[in-house]
Amino acid sequence: MTTSATSSETSILSHLATLRSPTEFQLVRRAVWLVALPFLLTLGLDLLAVLFLGVPPGKSRFFLAGLFDLIYQTFMLTLVITAWLMRVFFQTVRETFESLAEQEVISEKEPGQALAFVQTYQRWLYAPARLLLGAAFAILGLAVDYYLIFGEDLARLAPGHEPAAIGQYANIVWLTNWINALGFLAALFMIGSLIFRMFVTAAFIYRAPAFFEFQIQLSHPDQCGGFKAIGDLCLKMVYVLLALALFASFWLIVSKHVTLSPDWQELLPPYVLSVGFRSPVKMLLVLLAVSGVGIFFWPMYTVHTLMLAERARLKKTLNSLARRIHQLDGLTLTNPSAMPTAERRKILDEIDSLKELYLRTNKAPAWPFDRSVALKFASTQVIPVISLLGLGGPMGQLIEIVTKLFQGG
């Protein structure tokens, strides 16, 4: 390790030490609690209602969402998982750049560039736009939720305007509606702010080559030139979107592509099987699928271009290796019987060594991820695409068979 490399690594690591702010982790913890607390309060009130008043008749029981609405329950679980995945992602950001610096895969282009990178990144993390995105995310999410559940009957949010069929449960239902509304707004605002920070991080992965020199290491054991950590980090961003995509995909398949028996239909809120439910879910899935592809490939594109440039440079080296191998072949074939055995063996060993070097160099990677990461990314897109395009052929038949087995048919 050279003195300049050591100095650059020390500078990068010292500035990265200031990168981990507790703010992101506090936001994640608050988002989790802001999701869990309204659900726990709703569940508690619904349990009290059932204990003292009994289970509401027929489909009126879905007004006690904490106990009977599977969409509400799984959505709350999805938000908690999303917040947890964000926590994992933000923990990994600093670790990724520290790993790259420690392995001397990156170094400062000029003294002070690491500090400039960290300061610019943190300035964008706290940009006012995070509040706007958080508010837009919260309002849009609550609007879609209320559109699906209430339709145009938003007057039910006012006291005394619940349907007559609810009867003695009206006050509890009205209270839980408002608890969930306020909890949703707060939780979705936090998650929207964190999503803004995640996209800011993606932008700075893309911009990292402007601050750091990237040294491609052909023999690096990660088989990605030393950059696999970047691919892993981008995959973690896809996982954040995947949690929401799986939720939407599952219920779209249930709503559109599965034939449910009347008994099973009784377990679901009426709006799940309506066209009004499927349209916004399809729009959400398309948005998540496109965002997933973008958030995976776009941040690492600049590293990809650097790797392509290195491959182009190596092409000249490969050409010279091929010429040398051809020259050595010519020496051994010109008059092989007159060549001493030891000399011929020495030339053949050199040819084998050059061939091995050629084959290894020719496998220089073009993207900072390996086959396993590529397969994981592809698998994250399969279910959303299938749920959007439909379940035809053997896949559709398999789903129908599994559904009938669960329904006892």
Are 251 and 333 members of one domain? no
Domain presence at residue 338: yes
Gyration radius from the chain CA atoms: 29
pLDDT of residue 234: 93
Does residue 281 fall inside a structural domain?
yes
Q: Report the length, in residues, of the chain.
A: 409
Same domain, 63 and 102: yes
pTM, rounded to two decimals: 0.79
Shared-domain flag, residues 247 and 286: yes
DSSP state of 60: G
Question: Do 238 and 324 belong together in one domain?
Answer: no
Q: In which domain, by residue range, is 374 found?
A: 3-308+369-403
What domain count does the chain have?
A: 2
Measured distance CA(51)–CA(119) in Å, rounded: 56
- Position 163 scores a pLDDT of 56
Share of the chain above pLDDT 70, in %: 79
Task: Based on the fold, state whether residues 106 and 202 are members of the same structural domain.
Answer: yes
Contact predicate 189/135, CB 8 Å = yes
pLDDT tens, 335-371? Answer: 777 777 788 788 788 878 878 777 777 777 888 998 8
Which regions in the chain score pLDDT beneath 70?
1-31, 145-167, 260, 390-409
Residues 188 and 106 in one domain: yes
Instruction: Find all residues with CB under 8 Å of 133, minimum gap 6, and list them.
Output: 192, 193, 195, 196
pLDDT for res 398: 47
Residue 44 in any domain: the answer is yes
Residues 145 and 65 in one domain: yes
What six digits make up the tokens of 297?
């490939």
**Domain-located, residue 408:** no
pLDDT, residue 294, reads: 92
Nearest-CA neighbor of 60 among 169, 146, 148? 169
Q: What is the pLDDT of residue 184?
A: 74
